[in-house]
Amino acid sequence: MKSIAPALTLPAASRHHSSLQHLSLQHLSLQQRLIVSFAIALIPLAVLLWQGHTVFQRITVMAQTEAQVAMREARQVENLDRLAVDSERALRQHAVVASTNTLTQSRQALQQYRQAITGACLTMDGTTPTHCTNHIELIDAQLANIGNSNGPLNQSTLTADMAQLRQLQSELTERIWNQLNSRLLAQGEAIQNEQQSLYWQTFSLVLLTALMVVGSSRRIAAPIQRLDRMIRSLGQPGTTPDLNSIRGPRELNELGERLNWLSGRLQQLEALRLALLRHAAHELKTPLASIKEGCALLEQGITGPLSQSQREVVSLLSGSTDRLAQLTEQLLDYNQWLQQTEVKRHTLDPSALINDTLSQHQLALKQRRLQVRVVCTLDRLHTDPTLFQRMLDNLINNALAYGAEGGRIQVRLEHQAPWVILEVANTGPAIPEHLHQSIFEPFQRGETPRQDSLQSSGLGLSIVTDCARLLDGRVGLSERTGYDVCVRIQLPERGTHL
């Protein structure tokens, strides 16, 4: 027979794009897109660093300025206190000695004190407070007093004036310190405001960075997820993959084009396979029917009597013809089953479904004197009834075929979160350990011969595996006390109620 499958040809690996397309983000490579996304995500962080540096510089300049002002005012207060003491000392000396030298010293001390007071008052909020005016007037009065005096000063008047001068000096010192404290408090509040503003800016920029990272990751992950859906759809017969452009990095775009091509080739090969099976079935059935009819005519002696050896040959031919027809039907049924991949879940009574399936095998169970025990702890089961019954039917049929005559079969259905467990166990020859995986593959048969008259095609457990896969479950062998073979199916619970 000549092969009807055409040779597979791959599309050209490279596509001609315009320079504008190559410069667009849509045709960047995955590495380039990652670099661009990383650079974009770094922009808010760079802004945050720049803003933090600016705030730090502003706070530093503010602190340096306030420190200089504090030092200047502290020195000013210290100088005022010293000049006040010098003025009082000079006046008291003049009051005692009353000489030209003491008069000159007193005037100089008072004039220096007056200049210092005037400068201090001018630096306080840019205004001249009332007590500063009183302070300066008192000093001017002292200057006039010592200028008009021809002899010693009056001690009582001098004592009263000095007490008033000390009081005014104390008030001025307190006002300067209060002004310095106010500036320090204002500085602390300004720094706190800057910190709070920086905190909010940090939060906003970090949030913006996170949103940009999430957006970039989604833009990169979206074409990968789309490729995953395309690949999954390729493995599901009867489904059509989304053949639209991936619109992602250049490598993924090229991979999407190859998947589109592969999808078309698989659909073409699937159509060829189905056509081949249909033609093979049609072409095989006609000669098989003719051979079977011819063997029946020979056995009936229509063409003349047959010898014993001839009858044996005709019997072998007839049995082989029946076996070939049976295998052909099983192969076609299996191929038809592979096309039925739609899952329709319903809520059903599992006990009724199990009993209905067992009733279909009731005659075979009686003939082989097998005892069946059903353990079902579920009231309702949410699954596809056809797929679930097909699994159960094949497992019971397998237990019938390979179980020991007069033995036991157990069907167990229970809930073990997050799974629904279906087990069919039987007594009889155990499955060798080296076959625990291969027996679930198509056309694989165990080493133990069947106990019935049928011939195995090796598709029973394979159909169970396919049904479980469609129900998002898994199949394997397990151990059950008192039984030699136990096939275990795990299905997601999905709405199952105990």
Instruction: Report pLDDT digits (tens) over 446-472.
Output: 555 555 544 455 667 888 888 888 888
User: What value does the mean pLDDT take over residues 46-71?
Assistant: 83
* Torsion of Cα atoms, 230 then 232 then 234 then 235, to 10°: 180
Tell me what pLDDT residue 6 has.
39
- Find, among 463, 470, 476, the residue nearest to 422 by Cα: 476
- Say if residues 102 and 138 touch (Cβ distance below 8 Å): no
Name 416's bridge partners: 419
* Predicted local distance difference test score (pLDDT) of residue 374: 92
Q: What residue type is 87 in one-letter code? A: S
Least trusted range by pLDDT, from 58-67, 84-93, 121-130, 167-176: 121-130
Q: Tell me what the mean pLDDT of segment 285-293 comes to.
A: 77
pLDDT in tens, 369-383: 889 999 999 989 988
CB-based contacts of 492: which residues, under 8 Å, 6+ apart?
A: 418, 419, 420, 471, 472, 473
pLDDT value, residue 312: 79
Residue with tokens 């063997």: 295
pLDDT of residue 310: 79
Average pLDDT over residues 152-175: 74
Average pLDDT over residues 345-352: 89
| pLDDT of res. 490 | 92
What average pLDDT score do residues 165-185 get? 80
pLDDT digits (tens, 9 = 90+) for 1-56: 334 443 334 444 334 433 334 444 556 666 777 787 778 878 888 888 888 888 88
Taking residues 307-333, report their average pLDDT. 74
* pLDDT > 50? residue 183: yes
Backbone angles phi, psi at 264, to 5 degrees: -60, -40
| Percent of the chain at pLDDT exceeding 90 | 6
Of 163-177, 315-329, 401-415, 454-468, give the range with the top mean pLDDT: 401-415
3-state secondary structure 325-394: HHHHHHHHHHHHHHCCCCCCCEEECHHHHHHHHHHHCHHHHHHCCCEEEEEECCCEEEECHHHHHHHHHH
DSSP track, 453-486: SS---S-HHHHHHHHHHHTT-EEEE---TT-SEE
CA distances from 120 to 124, 139, 498 (A): 7, 15, 91
Q: What is the pTM of this model?
A: 0.45
Average pLDDT, whole number, for the chain? 76
* Residue 240: strand, helix, or coil: coil
> How many helices, marked H, and strands, marked E, lie in the chain?
11, 7
Mean pLDDT for 293-305 is 78
**Tell me, what's the pLDDT at 487?**
92
